[in-house]
Structure 1
Amino acid sequence: VRVFTFSVGQHNYDKGPIQWMACENKGYYYEIPSIGAIRINTQEYLDVLGRPMVLAGEKAKQVQWTNVYLDALELGLVITGTLPVFNLTKGQNEKINQLILGVMGVDVSLEDIKKLTPRFTLCPNGYYFAIDPNGYVLLHPNLQPKQIGVGIPKVKLRKRRPNVQNPKSQEPVTLDFLDAELENDIKVEIRKKMIDGESGEKTFETLVKSQDERYIDKGNRTYTWTAVNGTDYSLALVLPSYSFYYIKAKIEEPITQARYSETLKLDNFDEAGYTFLAPREYCNDVKKTENNTEFLLNFNEFIDRNTPSSPSCNTDMVIRVLLDAGFTNELAQNYWSKLSLDGVVAQFVVTDGGITRVFPKRAGEDWLENAETYEVSFYKRSLDNDNYIFTAPYYNKSGANSYESGIMVSKAVEITINGKLLKPAVVGIKIDATSWMKNFTNTTIKSLCNSEICGCERNSMHVDCVILDDGGFLLMSNRDEYTQQIGRFFGEIDPGLMRNLINMSLYAFNKSYDYQSVCDPEEEPKQGAGLRSAYVPTITDILHLGWWASAAAWSILQQLFLSLTFPRFLEAADMEDDDFGAALPKTSCITEQTQYFFENDDKSFGGIVDCINCSRLYHAEKISNTNLVFIISDSQLLCRSCDPKPLMQAEKPETDEGPNPCEMVKQPRYRKGPDVCFDEAKQ
């Protein structure tokens, strides 16, 4: 603590006490003769405070880096490095000055830093991040500044918080590393070691939130970290096991290169399907744009006049995208064009190099996924899972039939080169939901049946049959009113059954806070009440029949299901290696997110949903090689006395402004103060 005292104006009081007070407390005493001299004299305390730093010499000449902030000169998000400038010259009395002249600094844009990193050789699920001594992230894929704009689309978008404005208009957010990812004990340890400037590596299983923030997957990740020389930052690289190596493409023949580039021409869409090109900086002279058609035209025009080895191009990226374009073109023309698959509305392939090809062309015209393959949720999920990944369409609460866009099914293509595993692409199809439901219900119906229940009959009064994905979203039902809700979280449709599935450990859930959200104005809540009815036992007989519960029957059901869904597509995969929101201002807020996932690898689950004056029996079975679970239960129509309160999954504003700070302060997160402190000098 330093005390600075001032004597202002002319007076007859003794100045000794206030002068002694300043000198005894490492301060300074000033005499200010008039009011006009107050400003000049009161600023001289800076010389006293800065003197210990000046006397520290080289120890004090260290670049200090700031947190991330929004630059006032429209550089976007930046960090600033500062260095003090000292005056050590000799005065007239040969006494060396001990003053700070000022501070020099430089602003470094985060966009410029990102350009220096090899993003597109890390695979979509690989990334790098950096943190400061407080544990706040400097770089991280989940560091996403909030949008200040209005009227942002709420539906028909899979890209997380799509940037509809100039990125320079975004507001920065201070985000802790443990809030940027799903926290666990190992990450807490890694964070501490990074703050302490240590180097290390750790491989472990962790929960991974999907790009669209609807799902959670379990994946193995290798974290490698080290300190950044000359700064107090620490840098880390995160890689899944299948991205330790990447494909370095080569096209030896110029003729082959020209042939592959022709497959990206717009007039090739009719034969080989609609093609999307990821908007990356392949060449400095190719103008990047979010309009796919315009970007393709710009790219094709440049490639027609130049070679991939042009000095303005990233040669590896250009050759890789041309190679992917050629391979996907051959897949479409030599295989897809010769198939006729009932109930399949589209076939597609998405590549690491940046190509998305959708067949036929008309399906590509309705394609809603991001052209940047590294930001496509189903693509990243498919890489982390060995199963076929079914992805439900986004449910539209405004009443539009979102299920008509189709249900997406995808799987990663795995290749092994010299013992090294690579996943260079994802292939898949889109299924017509109505046709799929019809085929599935027909598969489950028993022939020569004389009882009330003969399977999952359409609109049955006795049983409900549903298929959910690993996030708890509805993909199929035997009820027409449920079909209109495909893509909706099942906890909003049948909350009693969904709660029981959680209690039986079929599903687990993870709650987290999003500190970077923007919220719409609150709407008036809508209330409703359900009917009550008595219990009518219906499903007991089915669950006790050996035909239904036997492993053989389930195996047959799964085979029929997969054969209907993929008539010949799977064989080919093995052979071929709410409308827009109103224009109202959005506000910064904290939201609570909940994602559901399969808790364990158990296949079969069963139980009873107990209500006030009735109960419902149910049985659930995971479908092999998929992320789906099939559930048959007593009809909800026959037992409406259960708790009607819906179980919500969607992101919602946190009315208490996030976690309780009083609870958090009991277990504070580790942080590190400055290495040196210039509080006083001995000279």
Structure 2
Amino acid sequence: MYFSISYFTSFTELFLLQLDANETQEGRIHRIRPDFKEDPSFKNRLISYNHSAVHIPTDIYDGSTIVLNELNWTEALEDVFKKNREEDPTLLWQVFGSATGLARYYPASPWKDARKTPSKIDLYDVRRRPWYVQGAASPKDMLILVDASGSVSGLTLKLIRTSVSEMLETLSDDDYVNVVNFNTRVNNTACFDHLVQANVRNKKILKDGVQNITAKGITNYTKGFEFAFKQLSDPNVTRANCNKIIMLFTDGGEERAQEIFSRYNPEKKVRIFTFSVGQHNYDTGPIQWMACANKGYFYEIPSIGAIRINTQEYLDVLGRPMVLADAKQVQWTNVYLDALELGLVITGTLPVFNKTSSEDGSRKQLILGVMGVDVSLDDIKRLTPRFTIGPNGYYFAIDPNGYVLLHPNLQPKNPKFQEPVTLDFLDAELENDIKVQIRTMMIDRVPGNKTIDTLVKTQDERYIDRGVRTYTWAPVNGTDYRSAAFSCTCLIMVFLCKFEENGYTFIAPREYCQDLKITSNNTQFLMDFNQYIDKRTPSDPMCKYIQYIILPFNLIIKNVKGVLARFVATDGGITRVYPKSGGEEWTENAETFDSSFYKRSLDNDIYIFTAPYLNSKPPVHMFYLVYSSTRKCVCVCHVDCVILDDGGFLLMSNQEEYITQVRGLTLTPELHSSLSKRICRDIFSIFSLSKKEQFFSLFFPLKMTCILYFSLTSIEISFPYLVLLTKYTFVGFFSAYSEEDTSDAYSKESCITEQTQYFFENDNRSFQGVLDCGNCSRMYRAEKLPSTNLVFLITDAKSTCLSCDPKPLKQAEQPSIGPDPCMLAQNPRYRKGPDVCFDNNDDCIFCLGFSTAHHFAAVSLLCLMMVSFILLLL
């Protein structure tokens, strides 16, 4: 067979200057070398719209007949890609992922592996990407059955562990899974006693459990399969309720367990896939029969090189019913990190079928691959009218799992994260009963709106405010998503006709007019803006945001000693600082919609004072004060005097050690416990939830609340007067770990940290009491300063009672172990799977697979025989 193929391999740039000396000139001409240009639509990535590019996984031989055939027939897709872009110039990546592992994407671009694994080996396989997994088959309930008898000890057990880990990577959030091991007894491998959602957290727990399997005893397939069938049919747990699968990993055996299959699977509704693992002399006939008798497939995994290919080929089998149904249903994925560096994207997918017929006239039941079109979240955000619903309003959207597609708190901090970014709506915000109802109605595609009194966390993540917010939501037609708007109506619009040049003016870099160029230089942008608006009117169709500009008036306020500067900020993005010299040291964000001080002012009708940052974050001040002029306090040396803001941050003190603390609290744990009622509430933020509450003795109306949240989210919560808020930041969901296997070569790291916050809730103005420290005590009194967010606290000095000298509570992020993930899986949140299920209606009789390693072994043996024959001839 001869192929005449020209293509650009995405790795070409790696060897343009180092072509293999043995490569023939004829072979070289088949590789295209496009002319690339930077394209801002792709974040200045090198792009060529004249060609598509091809990526072939490292572990697949790019000269094989199968790959050459794929290159040949997928070449026609290039014209389709180009036509699509002509019809819609905003299209980003268009990708075809083949069931063989080849990926053809348009426009062409040199490949960059953003994960940068330590070995520098490219481990990208399109069949492992979230969009391919979700688009290739219907949801599945999978029970992985691991043989833990003594015969699998040693290398075979290591191969099984790695194989199971790779199998788990083929599952998405629409799937449910559990792993059990058996010999003469059956045991849950992890802490789950039923199927659980195949999210990142649960898969990590199952992987860890598999590593702890030990081999002993003898094999009893009857007990293993009976346990598996019962768990798959448990009606009391949430499941995918579509494809039902049992995956058996074993070295072989004599038992067929026919009685169990006749009793539990007479209609063959549960597929059985069997894997013979390791190099051994055991009879594999019985486990081949299990697969063939139950509409499954049999595979062999003799070595580590055969694991990846053979643990994902089952998806081709599950795709057969979809092919027979000719189901061309577009599916939209979860949010995930694009491998070609577009950032967070969603992908619309469509399966590609083989519609040809066999010689006997029957249809071929093969899924050829999945087509995908990426949509960047940045592009979606640009389409939402951000400045029309106020600084404290925002748009968000969720999918049927309750995961947010859009939300201001969807901000993953680990760019190497390879799993879908699954942040639940209730973790992006503080969970309460009303928000649970909103989430349920959105998932059920029931439109509505609710106005609630809720708590919000500030832009700088330091403060908690209470405000009235309105949620309005509706389904997005033609997609699985549901969109909503979160708004606050608390603005008074005042328009002025004159733009005075007094003070120092900052302007937010917004697209006020379509033909007004935005620059990062504030001075230049302000000059361009002034010249531009002289020629335009508020009703100009090119300037849809001009009407929202509120020009600040001149402040005529008598200078107050100690006040360095005053300012006016507006909803239109204009900020003016008085005097002009004060603006030269202004470090606030010019975009008022991103400024905590501005957004807080809309929820509070008092004077807001904010403590300066002592870490790397920028400071936020409502008034700049000369500290030296306020430091002289009426307090004397036998008492400690401090002024705190409503977040518990220190503004002033008569003790130097307090001033130099970085985000440290002056209130001790004893003082908090004497003032507070404690409620500890754990919220597992991204993937699933469980909640528990503990109550302790209380004296005064101050509550302490503990909240968990991941780095992808911001959580807000509230309780009385100064309320202690503890949150956990999850920078991903994996602690750094190493495995003996190669299944998780992508670097997955995370950390969990705890943060403490305080805020006012009620109107109580003063508190007082005594801290009993055994042989001495300390008196305290706290007064809330009128019309401000400040608290004045006076206590007996530490030196008067040294036994009352614990370490202060820290507001800086502290390491934490987080919640118990096994408890979280017991009460999963409400979700909905896909509306359509394609399962178990195929009639394919082929059920035996062969490992890639065997193909390579056969080729190697043939080569060896040829060399030997030539040597004999010589």
Please indicate the TM-score interval, normalised by the length of the shorter structure: 0.5 to 0.7
Distance across 2 between alignment mates of 1:234 and 1:589: 31
Q: Deviations over 1:140-199 (max 9, x none)?
A: 101112166xxxxxxxxxxxxxxxxxxx99997432222221222322332233223332
What residue number does 1:139 align with? 406
Question: Conserved in 2, the CA contact under 8 Å of 1:609 and 1:616?
Answer: yes
Work out whether 1:465 is the aligned partner of 2:465: no
Residue 665 (structure 2) aligns with: 490
Task: Encode CA deviations 1:194-225: one digit per residue, 9 max, x unaligned.
Answer: 22333232222222112111111122222222
Counterpart position of 2:429: 181
Query: Any idea what SS the aligned residue of 1:662 has?
Result: helix
In structure 1, stretches of 5+ residues that fail to align are 8-13, 31-38, 149-167, 410-428, 442-456, 519-584
Alignment of 1:231-310 (within 5 A): 231-242=479-490, 260=499, 263=500, 268=501, 272-300=502-530, 302-303=532-533
Contact kept? 1:515, 1:589, Cα under 8 Å: no
Q: What is the alpha-carbon distance in structure 2 between the residues aligned to residue 286 and residue 662 of structure 1?
A: 54
Of residues 604, 607, 610 in structure 1, which corresponds to 2:766? 604
Letter in 2 for 1:408: H
- Counterpart among 634, 647, 652 of residue 476 in structure 1: 652
* Structural mapping, 1:622-633, within 5 Å: 622-633=784-795
- Cα deviation, residue 500, structure 1: 3.5
Q: Which residue of 1 is the match for residue 837 of structure 2? A: 677
User: Structure 1 residues 586 and 191 mapped into 2: Cα distance closer, same or farther (>3 Å)?
Assistant: closer
CA deviations 1:364-400 (Å, max 9, x no partner) are: 11112111111111211111112221111113599xx
Confirm or deny: 8 A CA contact 1:393 1:487 kept in the other structure. no
Indicate yes or no: 2:437 matched with 1:198.
no
2:708 is matched with: 513
Aligned residue among 371, 376, 380 for 1:109: 376
Secondary structure of 1:201's counterpart equals strand
**Partner SS, residue 363 of structure 1:** helix
- CA separation of 1:171 and 1:112: change in aligned 2, threshold 3 A: farther
The correspondence for 2:674, drawn from 500, 505, 513, is 500
Question: Mapping of 1:437-452 within 5 angstroms?
Answer: 437-438=631-632, 441=633
Letter in 2 for 1:142: N
Q: Is the 8 Å Cα contact of residues 392 and 473 (structure 1) preserved in structure 2?
A: yes
Name the CA distance, whole Å, in 2 between partners of 1:625 and 1:42: 65
Q: Decide whether the 8 Å contact of 1:279 with 1:288 is kept in 2.
A: yes
**What letter corresponds to residue 511 of structure 1 in structure 2?**
C
Match in the other structure for 2:568? 349
Letter in 1 for 2:674: N
The CA distance in 2 between the partners of 1:194 and 1:223, in whole Å, is 11
**Who is 1:26 aligned against?**
295
**Alignment partners' CA distance in 2, 1:586 and 1:273:** 50
Whole-angstrom CA distance in 2 between matches of 1:346 and 1:227: 48
> Which residue identity does 1:282 align to in structure 2?
Y
Is the 2:409–2:712 contact (alpha carbons within 8 Å) kept by the matching residues of 1?
no
Among all aligned residue pairs of Structure 1 and Structure 2, give the percentage whose two residues are the same amino acid: 62
Q: Distance in 1 between matches of 2:314 and 2:822?
A: 38
Partner of 1:227: 475
8 Å CA contact 1:512, 1:594 repeated in 2: no
Quote how far apart the aligned CAs of 1:308 are.
6.5
CA-based RMSD: 4.1
Report if aligned partners of 1:147, 1:170 keep a CA contact under 8 Å in 2. Answer: no
Q: 1:124 to 1:42 in 2, by over 3 A?
A: closer
5+ unaligned residues in a row in structure 2: which ranges?
Answer: 1-244, 246-270, 277-282, 300-307, 678-698, 714-746, 844-874
8 Å Cα contact 1:511/1:592 also seen in 2:
no
Partner of 1:52: 321
CA–CA distance in structure 2, aligned partners of residues 218 and 143 of structure 1: 21
Matching residue within 520, 525, 548 for 1:320: 548
Cα distance in 2, alignment partners of residues 498 and 507 from structure 1: 8
AA in 1 matched with 2:828: P
Letter of the 2:642 counterpart: V
The one of 441, 458, 463 aligned to 1:215: 463
> How far is 1:661 from its partner?
0.8
Q: Which amino acid aligns with 1:383?
A: L
Residue identity opposite 1:183 in structure 2:
E
SS of 1:53 mapped into structure 2:
helix
Q: Does 1:331 align with 2:542?
A: no
Q: From the superposition, tell whether residues 355 and 137 of structure 1 become closer, same or farther in structure 2 (CA, over 3 Å).
A: same
Deviation of residue 114 (structure 1)? 0.6
| Aligned pairs (5 A) from 1:489-638 | 489-491=664-666, 496-502=670-676, 505=700, 507-516=702-711, 588-638=750-800
Output the TM-score relative to the length of structure 1: 0.65
Cα separation, partners in 2 of 1:63 and 1:430, compared to 1, 3 Å: same
Query: Would the aligned equivalents of 1:517 and 1:589 in 2 still touch at CA under 8 Å?
Result: no
Flag the 1:408–1:4 CA change in 2: closer, same or farther, 3 A. closer
Equivalent in 379, 383, 399 of residue 602 of structure 2: 383
Per-residue deviation, 1:517: 7.5
Distance 1:46 1:172, change over 3 A: closer
Distance 1:590 1:669 in 2: 22
Q: Could you tell me how far 1:346 is from its partner in structure 2?
A: 0.7
Q: Give the counterpart letter for 1:628 in structure 2.
A: L
Secondary structure of residue in 2 paired with 1:408: coil
Distance 1:46 1:432 in 2: 68
1:250–1:607 distance in 2 versus 1, CA, 3 Å: closer
Q: How many residues align?
A: 509
User: Residues of 1 paired with 2:517 and 2:359: CA distance?
Assistant: 61
**Structure-2 separation of matches of 1:93 and 1:667:** 51
Q: 1:344 to 1:28 in 2, by over 3 A?
A: closer
User: Is contact 1:507–1:598 with CA below 8 Å preserved after alignment?
Assistant: no
The answer to whether the Cα contact below 8 Å between 1:274 and 1:358 also exists between their aligned partners in 2 is yes
Q: Label 1:45 to 1:274 Cα distance change in 2 as closer, same or farther (>3 A).
A: closer
Shift of 1:47: 6.3
What's the CA shift for 1:54? 2.9
Matched, 1:663 2:823: yes
Partner of 2:389: 122
| Mapped pair 1:435 → 2:656 | no
- Cα deviation for residue 105 of structure 1 reads 2.0
Q: TM-score, normalized by length of structure 2?
A: 0.52
- Give the helix-richer structure, 1 or 2: 1
